[in-house]
A = this chain, B = another copy of it.
Amino acid sequence: MIEADDLRFFAAIAAAPSLAAAARALDVSPPAVTQRLRSLEARLGVKLVDRGGRRLALTGEGELLAKRGRDIVGALDALNDTLLERRGEVAGDLRIVAPFGFGRRFVAPLAAQFREAHPRLRLDLTLVDRLSHAPPESWDIAIHIGAPNVAAHLAMRRLAPNARLLCAAPDYLARAGTPARPADLRNHACIALRENDEDVTMWHFSARQAGTTERIRIAPTLSTNDGEVAKAWAVAGQGLIVRSEWDVTEDLESERLVRILGDYDLPPAPVVALMGTERAARSARSRRFLDALAASLRTPPWRISTASPQTAP
């Protein structure tokens, strides 16, 4: 008889571009995938995957199995969750995705603490440079900085406010001068941080007093996809950066960096959580984890000693 685990196994194959990739996703060796697929096909008496050289393609029966299997596995996992929840204990698998910088600084410590409080929980924290690289099926919770432009249909929960600040190193400003208006940025070295598929060279300013907005298309002299690198460049006096409050608060305090154009606000980038699936959104462990994370961010660490230009909603 066909088993739910066969469906999970085949779902991994259906989602992977090759049997070897499926083996990696399943944490088993390639021969295990070959053998098990063969045995599954033999048991059903149906060919499921056409192995055309290096490319693999599902047969009609394979598509059917993958499609209907998805629902069955979903129902089984939901049942599992219900039973775990009844017990009042947080257990099972929890797959979290977070950006490299924020994840390392704020999610990882909380994850360790949460895991310690719930011994039967298996927790995976994957740090990514952009969320679009991790499909929603591959995670239960994604932490994101700023309003997500992808996957707007997913359930979302705000965890903490977070402003973006224009900053530079004091010695850079001593050399290049301090801009007084957004338009002055055209004559400055700007460092672009390519994250989250945003239009990172279009900087939006809104004058806090006048309520007017200005947009500047900067021509980055340096660009990177890594926040640490961008900030290091800025600290080294390479130019201006727009960076999240959570990352530069310490640097502003220690005056490695100085805030510029303080009369203007940049678009805020609140810390939000996304739910990968319906199941994730409802599951007790997801809720409990986000409760814990939200609590740890309630007075965001980066606000404790900084007078922020924005107040929490």
Contact = CB atoms under 8 A, between A and B. Distances in A.
Interface of A: 1-5, 7-8, 44-46, 60-61, 64-65, 68-69, 71-72, 75-77, 79-80, 82-84, 86-87, 89, 91, 120
Chain A interface main SS type: helix
Contacts of A79: 2, 64-65, 68-69, 72
Contacts of A5: 1, 3
Nearest to A65: B83
Given A91-B45, A120-B45, A1 B83 contact: no
A146 to B, nearest CB: 35
Contact of A3 (B4, B46, B87): B4
Give the number of times this chain occurs in the complex, counting copies: 2
A64 B45 contact: no
B68 A72 contact: no
A64 B83 contact: yes
A69 B76 CA distance: 8
B72 A86 contact: no
Given A3-B4, A45-B87, 16 more contacts: A1-B8, A2-B4, A3-B5, A4-B76, A44-B80, A44-B83, A44-B84, A45-B84, A45-B91, A46-B87, A61-B86, A64-B82, A64-B83, A65-B83, A72-B76, A75-B75
A68 B79 CA distance: 7
A75 B69 CA distance: 9
A71 B61 CA distance: 22
Given A61-B86, A72-B75, A79-B72, A3 B3 contact: yes
A76 B91 CA distance: 25
A79 B89 CA distance: 33
Nearest to A59: B86
B83 A61 contact: yes
Nearest to A67: B79
Ordered nearest first, which 4 A-B pairs have the shortest CB separation? A4-B4, A68-B79, A45-B87, A2-B80
B86 A64 contact: yes
A77 B4 CA distance: 11
Best-surrounded residue of A1, A60, A69, A91 (most CB of chain B within 10 A):
A1
A60 B80 CA distance: 14
Nearest to A44: B83
